[in-house]
């Protein structure tokens, strides 16, 4: 398949690995920001093919995983209200809130629908003018533009029975929070290529300079990951720290100006809580004042809902790269994809789910369901 097969070529992977092995002289810890990159790494056994000196730390870039429990509880409350049609992408339906999930609400008679685009939810609102239609808008800079566009369209078309439950987060403040943590071991980042395809690379030089870390914009196929690691390790070995774009087939320095303009019109930057991590200043978006009437939290008066995270779930430490998933006592026992305690075990991009799916149960076990690329 074009644009897939050539980025999984075993011979090219071997050459990149040889280059990395020849370059490394001492230990380095790199963080891949995105959960999609984590799954590629674990699925293809890339971490096991790298020199033992190169450690990959799994970052917080899974949108489902970082959505705070209290936002899930707000979604459950709104979805339970009579007359509401609650629309969401499918991966949120099994994320546990306090005592139940959106599937449970549907089982109790709630009208919870899976959609494939926020514009589907807007169409449903148009077709059901006597119902309130809510879309669950979560995610990073990648999913925020279409959600912004949907609110923009709702206002333009005069669709008043549509609203957005917003939980959008931004990557650069999370990188800053990770680097400021006293436990931080990260020496370089593989930045999320899809985020940069929207936002460009302009936010990253300040972070690379300020913290003395290489930041390599990286894609999601095995060769993308290896090239990102190769470039980051080269910089570290040469005592350099700058932003490099290793994903030029998708990322331009300026990003996507139309998407950025839509974000700037509909959203404003705000402090956001990250699940298991806490509030990170300026790390999220909320609807701008002129669009506030489309804010589901206000429309359904759920701003006051607050929830404590379950104590036994260590997803906050997983999301900050402080432990690997199998180091959580609940991993694979109390907590499995069928009985998840935390979102990192539910989400298709979650690190706990990746370790469970590919049988990383501790020690040096090899992945069972996929072959290494090399």
The CB-of-223 to ligand SF4 minimum distance in angstroms stands at 29
Closest approach, Cβ 107 to ligand SF4, in A, equals: 23
**Minimum distance from CB of 248 to ligand SF4 (Å)?**
35
Give dist(CA 75, CA 80) in Å, integer.
9
Min dist CB 334 to ligand SF4, Å, is: 7
Q: Which is nearer to ligand SF4, 200 or 367 (CB)?
A: 367
- Shorter beta-carbon distance to ligand SF4: residue 235 or 315: 315
Closer Cβ to ligand SF4, 65 or 154, answer by number: 65
Would you tell me which residues interact with ligand SF4 (CB under 6 A)?
313-315, 318, 325, 328, 330-331, 335, 340-342, 344-345, 352
User: Whole-number minimum distance, CB 184 to ligand SF4, in Å?
Assistant: 19
Please, which residue, 193 or 325, has the CB nearer to ligand SF4? Answer: 325
The residue (of 146 and 310) whose beta carbon lies closer to ligand SF4 is 310
Beta carbon of residue 95, minimum distance to ligand SF4 (angstroms, whole number)? 11
Nearer to ligand SF4, 263 or 330 (CB): 330
């Amino acid at each position: 398949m074009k644009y897939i097969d050539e980025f999984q070529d075993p011979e090219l992977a071997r050459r990149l690995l040889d280059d990395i092995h020849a370059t490394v002289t001492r230990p380095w810890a790199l963080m891949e920001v995105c959960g999609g990159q984590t799954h590629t790494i674990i699925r293809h056994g890339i971490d096991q093919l790298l020199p033992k000196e190169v450690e990959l730390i799994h970052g917080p870039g899974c949108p489902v995983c970082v959505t705070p429990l209290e936002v899930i509880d707000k979604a459950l409350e709104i979805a339970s209200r009579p007359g509401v049609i609650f629309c969401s992408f499918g991966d949120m339906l099994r994320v546990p809130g306090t005592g139940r999930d959106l599937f449970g609400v549907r089982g109790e008679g709630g009208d919870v629908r899976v959609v494939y685009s926020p514009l589907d939810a807007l169409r449903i609102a148009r077709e059901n003018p006597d119902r309130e239609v809510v879309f669950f808008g979560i995610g990073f800079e990648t999913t925020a533009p279409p959600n912004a566009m949907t609110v923009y369209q709702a206002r333009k078309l005069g669709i008043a029975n549509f609203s957005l439950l917003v939980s959008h987060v931004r990557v650069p403040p999370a990188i800053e929070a990770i680097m400021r943590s006293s436990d931080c071991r990260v020496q370089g980042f593989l930045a999320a290529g899809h985020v940069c395809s929207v936002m460009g690379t302009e936010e990253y030089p300040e972070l690379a300079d300020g913290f003395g870390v290489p930041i390599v914009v990286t894609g999601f196929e095995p060769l993308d990951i290896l090239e990102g690691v190769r470039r980051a390790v080269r910089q570290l070995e040469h005592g350099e720290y700058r932003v490099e774009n290793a994903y030029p087939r998708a990322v331009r320095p300026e990003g996507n100006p139309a998407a950025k303009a839509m974000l700037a019109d509909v959203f404003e930057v705000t402090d956001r809580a990250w699940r298991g991590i806490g509030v990170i200043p300026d790390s999220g978006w909320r609807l701008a004042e002129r669009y506030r009437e489309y804010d589901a939290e206000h429309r359904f008066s759920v701003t006051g809902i607050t929830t404590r995270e379950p104590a036994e779930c260590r997803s906050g430490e997983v999301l900050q790269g402080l432990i690997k998933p199998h180091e959580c006592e609940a991993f694979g026992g109390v907590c499995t994809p069928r009985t998840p305690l935390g979102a990192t075990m539910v989400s298709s991009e979650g690190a706990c789910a990746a370790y469970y799916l590919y049988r990383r149960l501790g020690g040096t076990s090899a992945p069972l369901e996929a072959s290494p690329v090399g």
